[in-house]
Structure 1
Amino acid sequence: MKTFLQDYHYGTEYDRQGMEPHFLDWAHQPVPYKTYQGIAPVHLPEISGLYPGSLRQVYEGEGFSSSENVPGLEDLSRILYLANGLTGKARQGGADFYFRSAPSAGALYPNEIYLVWPGGGGLAPGVFHYGVHNRSLTPLRTGNFVPAVHAFAEDEKSGPIAVFFVSGIFFRSAWKYRKRAYRYVLMDAGHVMESLRLAVRAAGFSCRLVYAFDDAAVNHLLGFDPEKEVSIGCVYVYGSGKGAVELKKSPGLRIEVLPESIRGASKTSEREIRYHEILDIHRAGSDIVPPAGPPVDMAACLGLLPVPFGAVSSPDALEKQLLSYARTVSARRSRRNFVQQPMHSDQLAFMVDLICRASDVSTDGGQGYSSAIAVGLLVGNVDGTPPGFYLVDVRLRRLHRVFEGNVTGEMAAVSLDQQWLANAGVQFLFMTNLDVLDRQWGARGYRYAMLTAGRLGHAVYLGATALGLGACGIGAIYDGEARRLLGLNPSSSLVYVVAAGVIKGG
């Protein structure tokens, strides 16, 4: 008998012979920005300067320390810009299109950021929504709700000084991807979560990812219609320990129902379609199931028989050639105009090194979310690394070869025949075993896997951009064909591909 998790994933697989025709309803395309009527926003200050450190320094957490215990408004302005801000503009179809610091499947941007703030740093305590389009914080509640959020997570670790939440608006993605859209809402959220985590670290504050919390309580706090928008994950922010500020819970704080003018803001189109498959899998994952055991070795659960190949290096020689972290974020785009020129093995090693750092247990305080995904590589054109399929041991930082030979062209065919993918130097693969997810975390494990795939994919995007390479993610694949090409067992799936390589003019 299939579980909710398996029923959703297998029920939304693409099959070459069974693709249903679908035409986009352009007259009812969802709006990409969330707005609130009748509430005066707090406009964030103009950014006077971004952090000068390198991308690897941010991942390592070295050299970044704030002199304040809580971020100020200028810090918040920089953090939110780097996390999911507008980084460029282009004309497409006679209209302006804005690039963002975090990528999105189909450029549909289903995710929003909220801030639960204790007060201080020039901002009153409250719950705020970040307006990407006008760089502002809209107050939804007043008062310090940070202790309440910590209680929602039933977390025994120390409480944060502030919390960022990332939500997902279903119809923004479902407008194009229909019932399969839940996959992309989660993976896009993973990109935003990693982008937000790095921005907080660059500001000099420590943080960790939290995915296990009371869905209903958080949705109520943030004023969501849970059939339209839901909370997906959060980032706990901790103080620097300098200039300590005592943060006390507001006495007698009640969490009232927010007015319809706020709860109705999750509506993005005059004609929205509810996909019961999306609502069913999300509701099934609302229960927090304690892990059934220690973090799993997902790579060992795929049904593969790899052999040791070599260690993952951390090439210091590249450091002077890289863009800074902030310039990397601003320059990041989904670039797929790959040319058949080889990457250098040090470039591959740099990106794999970032994935290993992003997978470290410190990112989530030892909760083991990153173990929901196994990382692989299809090497096609990399000097010093023979073509083939490799698995990455992110804990021991080693590669294991599954088979030899260049199958990047076959993976391009599996990826809905997007042949540009074949010219990439390497294709990063993010895989999971659905049975193991369900045993370890129940249906909520599906969120953990997809969020992790997006987070680790974001490390590839940033690493490639810092190196002057191109990167582009693919979530649309013929699932069964991918399973057969890679030799995965029936309960395992490839969920995300991010290609990287030399690009025209790069």
Structure 2
Amino acid sequence: MQISPHLFILPRTPGQIVWDYKNHKQFELNLKYSTRLAELIDNPEKFNERNTIDTQLLDAGILTTAITDTTDWGWDELSKIFHIGTKNIPCEHVPQNINEWSKQYLDHCSDVLSTPSPKARRSERLGCELITLPKPSCLPEGSLANALVNRKTCRTFTGEAVSLEAVSTLLYLSLGYLHERENDVDESIVEGLGARRSSPSGGGLNACEGFLLVQNVRGLPPGVYAYHPTGHALSLVNPLPPQPLGQLMCGQHFINNLPAGLFITSRFDKLWWKYEHSRAYRMAYVEAGHISQTFQLAATALGLNTWLTGALTDDQVEALLGLENSAEQPLFFVGCGQSDGQVMCKELKALLSSRGAEQ
């Protein structure tokens, strides 16, 4: 018998809150239960199956018979609680198709809009005098300006194939080590940290990596591939799963017709290596955001539309990428393909129209 490794305890007079952050469960313990839990924390071998409190703690998962093999966490417990506690979003029913997703999403939006909206931001409430800016001048000519204006999130894709050359360009500009910047390295750069990407990276560590999802890329069999930036190459990790890919995205089935996409991961062990304080955990997401935006702008410049999400069914994605119990973890997904440019899927549009007609 042992105490679950995924608990934290908060004092809340007249008792205490025990939170199982992995399974998203909260328990309120009175003095009697709290005292018994403290005794079992001191010595789990005191567990008595004839003690009602002991069996209730076991049934709740506060106690466990399982031997947990966990990756050593290089930072403090707070960042570990946040990372594990925000994985695998609790969902009573994962939408099985876009129609189900549309209804669930629309119901959620209706519930949100039925409550008061947040107050205006503090700077607006202060009522300071506003300084009117001049009208924006014409945007400069060039592909970057065009990509910034044209980039938008789309949720309808044709499934049409993309070329291997386009995928190669996307990977190189997003995650590749740029040969064009090799002359930037000088004597101030620590040996082994001289590689440069198009996006900034905390400490120059390039802690983010990528796994390419291939469904319809000319010249590349379907599957999931690890991208190796040093050699600008791919290696097959796994075939595509048998279930619809939308199940990996908490029921967001827009991914099902994406010809290609990128799972952005972070090498926490690299960040632990240089930065011992868990504030560096913030940098993992900042870097993933940089890379996501770079991918989208590059895809837009190539004439492709993009879709992105941070709603991952983490356990399934980790298994697909071969990252179970690893210090490398998936954080984000961005995909691209040919689209009619619609931000809203046709199923959601149809549902909105039918509900509007009923009113």
Note whether the superposition's TM-score is higher than 0.5.
yes
Alignment of 1:18-167 (within 5 A): 23-24=111-112, 26-30=114-118, 35-36=123-124, 37-53=126-142
Partner of 2:165 in structure 1?
Answer: 346
Aligned amino acid, residue 86 of structure 2: T
Q: Could you say what secondary structure the match of 2:332 adopts? A: strand
Identical pairs, percent: 26
Q: Could you say what secondary structure the match of 1:458 adopts? A: helix
Partner of 2:331 in structure 1?
Answer: 495
- Of structures 1 and 2, the larger Rg is shown by 2
Aligned amino acid, residue 48 of structure 1: S
Structure 2 residue 84 is the aligned partner of structure 1 residue 10 = yes
Aligned amino acid, residue 337 of structure 1: T
Partner of 2:262 in structure 1?
Answer: 428
Deviation for aligned residue 1:464? 2.0
Deviation for aligned residue 1:26? 4.2
User: Contact 2:176–2:230 (CA<8 Å) still a contact in 1?
Assistant: no
Aligned amino acid, residue 501 of structure 1: G
Q: Could you say what secondary structure the match of 1:451 adopts? A: helix
Deviation for aligned residue 1:366? 8.2
Aligned amino acid, residue 368 of structure 1: G
How many Å separate the matches in 2 of 1:435 and 1:365? 15
How many Å separate the matches in 1 of 2:200 and 2:341? 38
> Given the two structures, how large is their TM-score scaled by the length of structure 2?
0.57
User: Contact 1:473–1:499 (CA<8 Å) still a contact in 2?
Assistant: yes
Alignment of 1:387-466 (within 5 A): 387-403=222-238, 405-407=239-241, 410-434=244-268, 436-441=270-275, 442-466=277-301
Q: 1:368 aligns with which of 169, 182, 204?
A: 204
Q: CA RMSD in A?
A: 3.2
User: Contact 1:15–1:480 (CA<8 Å) still a contact in 2?
Assistant: no
Deviation for aligned residue 1:340? 2.0
- RCO higher in structure (CA 8 A, sep ≥6): 2
Deviation for aligned residue 1:38? 3.7
Partner of 2:53 in structure 1?
Answer: none
User: Contact 1:376–1:389 (CA<8 Å) still a contact in 2?
Assistant: yes
Partner of 1:238 in structure 2?
Answer: none
Q: Which sections of structure 2, spanning at least 5 residues, go unmatched?
A: 6-72, 95-103, 179-195, 343-359
How many Å separate the matches in 1 of 2:244 and 2:270? 27
Partner of 1:328 in structure 2?
Answer: 147
Deviation for aligned residue 1:357? 6.0
Aligned pair count? 234
How many Å separate the matches in 1 of 2:135 and 2:335? 35
Q: Which sections of structure 1, spanning at least 5 residues, go unmatched?
A: 54-323
Partner of 1:66 in structure 2?
Answer: none
Deviation for aligned residue 1:456? 0.6
User: Contact 2:211–2:224 (CA<8 Å) still a contact in 1?
Assistant: yes
| CA offset digits 1:29-73 (Å, max 9, x no partner) | 3368664334333333222222223xxxxxxxxxxxxxxxxxxxx
Deviation for aligned residue 1:486? 2.0
How many Å separate the matches in 2 of 1:38 and 1:16? 41
Aligned amino acid, residue 10 of structure 1: I
Change in Cα spacing, 1:32 to 1:466, as seen in structure 2 (3 Å) is farther
Partner of 2:349 in structure 1?
Answer: none
Aligned amino acid, residue 384 of structure 1: G
Alignment of 1:191-230 (within 5 A): none
Aligned amino acid, residue 170 of structure 2: M
How many Å separate the matches in 2 of 1:459 and 1:32? 31
How many Å separate the matches in 1 of 2:177 and 2:117? 34
How many Å separate the matches in 2 of 1:453 and 1:408? 28
User: Contact 2:87–2:314 (CA<8 Å) still a contact in 1?
Assistant: yes
How many Å separate the matches in 2 of 1:386 and 1:449? 31
Deviation for aligned residue 1:415? 0.3
| CA offset digits 1:335-393 (Å, max 9, x no partner) | 12111211122221221122036982585498225x22111101110112222212222
| CA offset digits 1:132-151 (Å, max 9, x no partner) | xxxxxxxxxxxxxxxxxxxx
User: Contact 2:237–2:322 (CA<8 Å) still a contact in 1?
Assistant: no
User: Contact 2:201–2:287 (CA<8 Å) still a contact in 1?
Assistant: no
User: Contact 1:372–1:445 (CA<8 Å) still a contact in 2?
Assistant: no
Aligned amino acid, residue 337 of structure 2: G
Q: Could you say what secondary structure the match of 2:278 adopts? A: helix
Q: Could you say what secondary structure the match of 1:43 adopts? A: coil
How many Å separate the matches in 1 of 2:333 and 2:248? 11
How many Å separate the matches in 1 of 2:153 and 2:121? 20
